[in-house]
Amino acid sequence: MPHLVNLEQLDVDGDVRDVAESAGFDRSTFLRTGALAGAGLVAGASIFGLPSIAEAKISSKQSLANDIRILNYALTLEYLEAAFYEAAVAANDFASPELKQFAQVVAVHEAEHVAFLRKGLGKKAVKAPKLDMTAVAGAISKTSFGPTAVALEDTGVAAYAGQGPNIKTRGYVQAALSIHSVEARHAAWIRCILGGGAVGASPKSYPAPATFDKPRSESRTLKIVVGTGLLA
């Protein structure tokens, strides 16, 4: 029987609220579909091959086995981003040429991140998650694409930062850092397109909104991923 938590239990640390508001959504809009719809409950059963929110598997104790968990965690996040941008490019329904260019470029980056991580993991690579295509269609609409991209990119940056200290293998550290910096560039780029670089813009919308980025743990990242409603 799946473990159920309500919205306030899910967002006790305010992560979903912070990401939603920073991206330009209110929390209720961000939690618009998927597992959090209806009664406002989310199943704590396994999410697309990752552990449940209550049973996150990544440890702070470094080991080769833990490295594999971290890379698969990163791969799953990259799967989600790659699918989002691929769908957006296919739909070709952008509010501006700048957003279209961003989506086209980042779609290639995310697909290559997926291929890179899959090659490194070999047979140990997890499969891609199944998406709720109705939710995806809403997320790539003219009004939602930009804010959703901000939410996904900001989440990716914080997720990589959260796991960097837990990686044991030097080569894996280098791989993670090479992706992490690109995700940060994506986050700054989309924020700039959405007006964050304009004089008088809200500080929360700036391409670099804070002096230091806060790392985010696996369990806290999972809350945000569930909150997008993009997973079937």
Interatomic CA distance for residues 164 and 160, integer angstroms: 6
| Cβ density class 176-201: b for 16+ within 10 Å, e for less | beebbebbbebbbbbbbbbebeeeeb
Domain count, the chain: 1
Please give the pLDDT value at position 94.
97
What are the pLDDT digits (tens) for 131-183? 888 889 999 999 999 999 999 999 999 999 999 999 999 999 999 999 999 99
**What does the alpha-carbon distance between residue 61 and residue 67 come to, in Å, rounded to a whole number?**
10
Q: Which two tokens stand for residue 72?
A: 């698969």
d(CA 110, CA 40): 31
The per-residue pLDDT for 15 is 54
Cα angle 72-133-187, degrees, rounded to a multiple of 5:
55
3-class secondary structure, 159: helix
Provide the percentage of residues in the chain whose pLDDT is more than 70. 76
Say which range, 20-34, 72-86, 194-208, has the weakest mean pLDDT: 20-34
Task: Give the pLDDT of residue 24.
Answer: 58
Q: What is the pLDDT of residues 181-218, one digit of tens each?
A: 999 999 999 999 999 999 999 999 999 999 999 999 88
Residue 232 to residue 230: CA distance in whole angstroms:
7
129 has pLDDT over 50: yes
Could you tell me the residue range of the domain that residue 95 belongs to? 4-228
Where residue 215 sits, what CATH number does that domain have? 1.20.1260.10
Q: In Å, what is the CA distance from 44 to each residue of 1, 121, 208, 216, 226?
A: 9, 26, 34, 19, 10
More confident residue, 143 or 53: 143
